[in-house]
């Protein structure tokens, strides 16, 4: 700590006005636990911004707005981050957030990273704004279409995934969902089948591109995107090479809405009884039945009134009117993937989180395995990643180790989930310029 104080007391004078533009590498430190980060500060229409890569969230490269006032540099990292710039030494030092103990931050100026050359091409497919990310060599390349889950998602959320896959020879098409970002259309009026229609158009577009191998086009559907992937797999005119789903439901929209509540209750510290869980399930059945049929509003309102005084009130939907958001969404998306999954013979990988209550593995794994087996699919794999939730991420908090030792864990995307996806896919595609996808791995020293 004393060295840090001395550093901040060094005279910064004229050099203090120097810009932080360029590449920086550093770490966040909390309770002795380190999170590695890398940032590129750059100008965008006269605004100073930073593109931040987090070693624990490699798939998600964030771009944040930066304010520099003399030697003080402020932006959003893990909370509001305020750093002091020492341009003479090429250092940025400060704190982030308001937690206790505080998170210390230390960046050092560095050279731009030497990455595998990639091509990022913005494209438009109908009304959908997308980016095609390919290795720099001409190809043709296998390609993954990254299908979003529920919500107003944009391509920026999977930009890091696209980079990771393209660096290993597999192209990616990432996009803004219908009615979101730079894409046209009405998101709130779009059903799962509408989103599937957008993906079908993407497949047709990719199949006509010389840099893409039309025999190696595949899907990666996340959460509700798993439903979309099942729809697409049975309606595309271009045969798919593979399908990956991450926390994608194998059950109907109706059943999934009920099981969100009951699985969350089972994972709760409140220790609900079997009777309470059954009561919550019965209430959610009324909610979904009304969403599907528009019948039974009076019965549902009476159930809402009773539920408000229950211990499980915070785990269920309590609609006050017929325009309740989840009611409208379920009504728009009345879908059961079972008939589609029972027809998919394409190589299929399904990942689930052991602690996921949104798509609980206890309700989905057996169904997924049974449906794909009934399809006659001879190349499918269902994997449950222990300890992770719906985002396939590990939560932050204190982790205990053998011998009564402990440490602080930063929240992070499961490295096992990323490894499984990459290894499974690279074993099933042919990467341009290599006789085997696996030879893309760095050679081991002799």
Domain boundaries, the chain: 2-110, 118-252+335-437, 253-332
pLDDT exceeding 70 applies to what percent of the chain? 92
**Alpha-carbon gap, residue 82 to 65, rounded angstroms:** 13
Q: d(Cα 165, Cα 50) in Å, to the nearest integer?
A: 23
For residue 100, name the pLDDT band (cuts at 50, 70, 90).
Answer: confident
**Look-up of token digits 């005084």:** 309
8 Å CB contact between 222 and 230: no
pTM (two decimals):
0.81
Kindly report which listed range (43-57, 178-192, 379-393) carries the lowest average pLDDT score: 43-57
Beta strand 348-353 pairing with 242-246: parallel
Mean pLDDT (whole number) for 11-35 = 75
Q: pLDDT digits over 267-315, tens only?
A: 999 999 999 999 999 999 999 999 999 999 999 999 999 999 999 999 9
pLDDT for 21 beyond 60: yes
CB within 8 A of 245, min separation 6: which ones?
220, 221, 222, 225, 226, 229, 348, 349, 350, 351
Average pLDDT, the chain: 89
- The confidence band for 433, taking pLDDT boundaries of 50, 70 and 90, is confident
What is the band of 113 on the pLDDT scale with cuts at 50, 70, 90?
A: confident
DSSP state of 156: G
Q: Cα separations (Å) of 402 from 32, 104, 399, 406, 407?
A: 18, 27, 10, 8, 11
Residue with the larger pLDDT of the pair 82 and 87: 82
C-beta separation of 139 from 211 below 8 A: yes
Decide: 75 and 96 in contact? Cβ < 8 Å.
no
Domain 118-252+335-437 has CATH 3.40.50.620: no
When comparing pLDDT for 424 and 35, which is higher?
424
Q: Choose the weakest-confidence range: 36-40, 162-166, 181-185, 413-417.
A: 413-417
Percent of the chain with pLDDT over 90: 72
How confident is residue 434, by pLDDT bands cut at 50, 70 and 90?
low
Query: Model confidence over 359-383: pLDDT tens digits?
Result: 999 999 999 999 999 999 999 999 9
What gap in Å lies between CA 328 and CA 287, rounded to an integer? 11
The CA distance from 155 to 124, in Å, is 13
Alpha carbon distance 199, 186 (integer Å) = 16
Per-residue DSSP letter, 11: -
Assess contact for 430 and 217: CB atoms under 8 A: no
Say if domain 2-110 classifies as CATH 1.20.120. Answer: no
């Amino acid at each position: 700590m004393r060295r840090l104080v001395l550093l901040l007391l060094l005279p910064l004078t004229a050099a203090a006005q120097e810009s932080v533009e360029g590449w920086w590498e550093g770490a966040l430190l909390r309770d002795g636990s380190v999170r590695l980060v890398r940032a590129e500060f750059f100008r965008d229409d006269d605004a100073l911004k930073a593109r931040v890569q987090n070693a624990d969230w490699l798939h998600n490269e964030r771009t944040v707005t930066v304010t520099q006032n003399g030697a003080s540099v402020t932006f959003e990292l893990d909370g509001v981050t305020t750093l002091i710039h020492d341009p003479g030494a090429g250092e940025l030092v400060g704190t982030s957030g308001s937690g206790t103990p505080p998170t210390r931050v230390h960046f050092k100026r560095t050279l731009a990273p030497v990455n595998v050359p990639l091509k990022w091409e913005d494209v438009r497919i109908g009304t959908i704004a997308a980016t095609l990310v390919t290795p720099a060599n001409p190809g043709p390349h296998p390609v993954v279409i990254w299908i979003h889950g529920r919500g107003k998602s944009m391509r920026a959320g999977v930009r890091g995934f696209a980079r990771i896959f393209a660096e290993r020879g597999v192209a990616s098409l990432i996009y803004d969902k219908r009615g979101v970002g730079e894409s046209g259309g009405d998101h709130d009026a779009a059903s799962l089948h509408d989103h599937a229609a957008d993906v079908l158009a993407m497949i047709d577009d990719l199949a006509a591109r010389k840099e893409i191998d039309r025999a190696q086009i595949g899907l990666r559907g996340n959460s509700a995107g798993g439903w979309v992937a099942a729809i697409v797999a049975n309606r595309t005119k271009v045969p798919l090479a593979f399908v990956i789903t991450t926390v994608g439901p194998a059950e109907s929209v109706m059943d999934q809405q009920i099981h969100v509540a009951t699985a969350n209750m089972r994972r709760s510290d409140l220790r609900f009884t079997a009777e309470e869980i059954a009561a919550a399930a019965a209430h959610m059945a009324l909610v979904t039945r009304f969403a599907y049929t528009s019948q039974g509003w009076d019965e549902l309102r009476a159930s809402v009134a009773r539920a408000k005084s229950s211990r499980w009130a915070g785990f269920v939907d309590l609609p006050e009117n017929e325009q309740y958001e989840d009611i409208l969404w379920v009504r728009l998306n009345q879908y059961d993937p079972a008939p589609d999954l029972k027809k998919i013979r394409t190589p299929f990988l399904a990942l689930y989180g052991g602690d996921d209550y949104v798509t609980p593995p206890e309700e989905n794994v057996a169904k997924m395995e049974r449906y794909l087996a009934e399809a006659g699919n001879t190349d499918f794999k269902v994997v449950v990643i222990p300890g992770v939730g719906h985002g396939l991420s590990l939560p932050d908090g204190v982790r205990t180790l053998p011998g009564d030792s402990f440490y602080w864990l930063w929240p992070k995307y499961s490295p096992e989930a990323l490894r499984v996806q990459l290894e499974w896919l690279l074993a099933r595609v042919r990467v341009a310029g290599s006789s085997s996808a696996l030879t893309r791995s760095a050679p081991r020293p002799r």
